[in-house]
Amino acid sequence: MTDWITEELHGGLKTSFRADEILVRRPVSTQDLVLYRNPVFGRMLALDGVTQVTEKDEFIYHEMLTHVPVLAHGNATSVLIVGGGDGGMLRETIRHPGIERVVMVEIDEGVVSFSKEHLPTVSDGAFDDPRLELVIADGADYMRTATEQFDVIIVDSTDPIGPGEVLFTDHFYGHAKARLKDGGVLVTQNGVPFMQGAELTGTMRAFRSLFEVATCYLATVPTYVGGPMAFGFGTDNPGLLAVTAETLAARQTAAGFETRYYTPDVHKAAFALPGYVQNLVSA
């Protein structure tokens, strides 16, 4: 009998993924964790039925949430990653040779261990990079109490439900800004705005009170249904939005890596927002 994993994150919509093989299924706190194999997306990890990461399309999410801020900045040497226990964001970050230090704050060491064992292609050995400092702690607590500052902060959070909810608050964003160096940039995962508009609007209201530039950019990740995903972008350096595609291409060439989704032209186009997203950003 064929198993199906059904996601009901959005009201009025169910999405089901065929599970040809259940690889791991066990409770995690009050959540149901299941790792399974799907014929389209390879290994897929879900919590309470909500897709967290897949082998086949994770590169889109991780490339766009990493390379857009790092290449726009152009001189980043330090990056803070909040969340990201699967290691995909870390993998993309360390592809930049100019990054000298990466601090990754993950609330659950078990997520890191699980990902290393069951989803090794996602991190691809990134946890062994000597530039990494892995901190097992609550991201909100770390942001409130830390003193170090960073050029780029990437908030790779789950949806604002349960433990991830605190990473979408005004207090958290205020503490995050204090952790940015002058000219730094904060980027955040803000869901699918067609289905989760309030999430994006709430983040943008907080960003407008904190940053000179408060906007978002978009990328289409197939497993996150309902339209393109939004990534918040906050900085006091408006020049980061004015970097040309030619400059971005030169920076990527100098860094010496290729990408499967990100391109300089996609980078620039990602900030061209449809009308309904513009309305959510400015609401």
Active site residues per annotation: 156
**Residues 125, 69: Cα–Cα separation, whole Å:** 23
**Residues 262, 250: Cα–Cα separation, whole Å:** 14
What is the residue whose two structure tokens read 């918040």? 232
The DSSP result for 49-101, as a single string, is: TEEEEETTTHHHHHHHHHHHHHHHHSS--EEEEEE-TTSHHHHHHTT-TT--E
**Alpha helix stretches (DSSP H) within the chain:** 58-73, 88-93, 109-118, 120-123, 139-145, 170-178, 197-210, 239-242, 245-255, 264-269, 275-282
